[in-house]
Amino acid sequence: MSAQPQPLPPCQADPALPAYGQQPRRSTRQVRIGGVAVGGDAPVVVQSMTNTDTTDVAGTAKQIADLWRAGSEMVRITVNTHEAAAAVPHIVERLAMQGIEVPIIGDFHYNGHQLLEREPACAQALAKYRINPGNVGFGKKRDTQFAQLIEFAIRHDKPVRIGANWGSLDQALAAQLMDENARRAESWDAGRVLREALIRSALDSAERAVELGLARERIVLSAKVSGVQELVAVYRDLARRSDFALHLGLTEAGIGSKGIVASSAALGVLLQEGIGDTIRISLTPEPGASRTQEVVVAQELLQTMGLRAFTPMVTACPGCGRTTSEFFQELAQVVQEHVRAKMPEWKVTRPGAENMTLAVMGCVVNGPGESRHANIGISLPGTGEAPSAPVFIDGQKAVTLRGDRIAHEFVALVDDYVDRTWGPRADA
């Protein structure tokens, strides 16, 4: 007679963890980058990078402005030639004339020490320097040129991101660790050795910067790879071995849905574990697509995880055989685009509106219930249902919309709700 299966023990919530298992944010040193705080008790910061030729002052300034309006709180630019370095102060000046004071980060490889020496106005205009320890020089020059970059940061009182990268790993360090591994009684596999080389490149460079006089509160670390599991393993180890603020990003994530899914999978795990102080979603833009997509994805990742609120999010059903009309899809898109377009204004005049929840549902099955859970929700008629759309506000049915102006009337209700809830009070 086979043994009877034993009942599973009841689930026990860990009282040390917040609701839903999300772990507390890792404690880090806080770094000031222009007017933005990274690490410590600051919220996770969204950043992005331009793909313009930096010598094109107007084009680069325009793309930075677009990224900033989309919600990028810091923007990195390539500084690879003397002409690019000379353009940086003019880019910053052009942005300031538009009232845009987003911190600009200079991305240096190979010749950064020369560029900062020759263009002191560039060194001063940038809010932060990004240094890749694998690309500052080779052989005996590496230590000297790294030291020069750190000395410029100290002289101009600038923070530094020491950003190691899988694609430009310090080969001398990798060879050293391979030799050490060969002498181990139980050797590591090659992947673990290379991960250790990446981590050591970042940590050893940070300690060298501190020895040279750069304060620990002026250092952000990153160690980027292009594989999801490798990135999670690297950052878990990096977080365990240091208290520096960490920048997260899956390098060369890819184009379209592949890049979005891969980045979200990797960063979502780390953020859930409390690791990460600033993030970038490194998407390859689709032909003709806006560079701002990577900013929107980063914001939506943080917002769907409950870490920050940037813009009202729209809950919408995926559709099924009950919803053969595309109207609910079109309305969901109209509403999402409307609130995104309004957010720059609401951010100033209606602070708090970013926390609003909206629902656009397509039939009677889940529509009324989901709509009641949102601040404002609409349940559109499905196939064969009565041609009416009840609107629920804060859980209560408020009005029923009919006819061909439902989209216009619902958007107007959203605007009215924002004005009533977050607008200036008469007694203010």
Specify binding-site residues: 317, 320, 363, 370
Contacts of 361 (CB under 8 A, 6+ apart): 315, 316, 317, 328, 367, 368, 370, 371, 377, 378, 379, 380
- Which residue ranges make up the annotated binding site for [4Fe-4S] cluster? 317, 320, 363, 370
CA distances for 128 relative to 105, 122, 269, 383, 396, angstroms: 5, 11, 27, 56, 50
What Rg do the C-alpha atoms of the chain give, in angstroms? 25
User: Are 421 and 312 contacting, i.e. CB atoms less than 8 angstroms apart?
Assistant: no
User: Are 150 and 214 contacting, i.e. CB atoms less than 8 angstroms apart?
Assistant: yes
283-284/74-78 β-pairing? unpaired
DSSP state of 18: -
Of the candidates 389, 381, 393, 391, the one whose C-alpha atom is nearest the C-alpha of residue 417 is 393
Q: What is the DSSP string of 291-341?
A: TTHHHHHHHHHHHHTTS---SPEEEE----TT--SSHHHHHHHHHHHHHHH
Cα distance between residue 78 and residue 54, in whole Å: 6
Q: Which residues of 155-191 are buried (b: 16+ CB within 10 A; e: fewer)?
A: eeebbbbbbbbbeebbeebbeebeeebeeeeeeeeee
Q: How many CA atoms lie within 13 A of 388 on its CB side?
A: 7
Type and span of the H or E element at 401: strand 396-401
User: Are 333 and 289 contacting, i.e. CB atoms less than 8 angstroms apart?
Assistant: no
